[in-house]
Chains A and B, each alone.
Chain A
């Protein structure tokens, strides 16, 4: 499946180990989707440290805020999501208030298996009714697994009632072929290990219908020739003063980065049955908005969205 087809999904769940650039990537995909004329919403999930406000330079709330024609952002916060969920499942407003204000119920919901997950997924389901494309910046990989896995647990625990009904609907949604799980990794051994481990578990548990998509972020594209590598190797064996030594070390460092990318690429390709899409470091630092702009531009080239179509750069 091509990257352009990926944008034709209805739901993109972006996951990966912390620090792999999930939020940046999710935002860039949202921008590209909107550039292709879709109504898109990018969501964070009840995070303690929201990153979307800095990227889109706006306050982000539970209710989506449109930041550009066709592109909205939101934060699926637990309390509001619970509110929305109860409003859907309870017949009277007074009852909703009662549940929300009752300490005992709050405590019980805390410990009821899966209550958090089903409420959050349920909100994602609601957003799909209003948008063409929903991009979810998922929690880090381990938690993403439990977020998706919880539905089968719920179905064994609840043999009747509205929770079961909703869980069934959500399971259908997640197994829909237009729902895609997108993994982000960076070329570091621990990150690659965890990414592969998470996907293997998900694949084994048949948690999701469509095949996943994998991106290797901060990839150092191979450029050193064999001869150059050999020369660096020879230089590193010479005894040098600290200043000169630094140059040789810099060469060794870069060689290692290239090799790490190559190694990660091969391992991911085997586990995901597709070549990972390489994304070079956005570089140049700068504010989060600028970084997202550069990533969108790079991915845009792959999906045929030109710079002038991106309001962002």
Chain B
């Protein structure tokens, strides 16, 4: 079993962080993992994406061109990548930020108003975590202990007070129906 995630949005939305969280969750769940960011000047506020692979086998290419799971947090990324999702794959779309819907019938699209949900729940800036929670749920990686360990690993010690809020955001995502 191999999951190939492509996460995309603007710099500053926590795209790389969400990718890292998924990678650590995979690692602690006993998978082979890789994480590859887009890098360069676009990191400073422009578009940003990262590829994450979780697999039962050693990973060849860390670069994902046709994801099985796509997460998008802005319209340009949605337009750019929605066509690249493998048939049978899933797309996780922040519907607060992305205009429009996909007419693809061979993939499953989740429209999650993650940014709106984050703002309503006092979790500003954690839409990425809500989306990550939903993705983990949908691929069946739901062991709370694993996820919490991953989150702890990803949050730097000086931001340890944010752990609880992050866990809340993750659960919101996991419990989201739609």
Decide whether A and B assemble into one complex: no
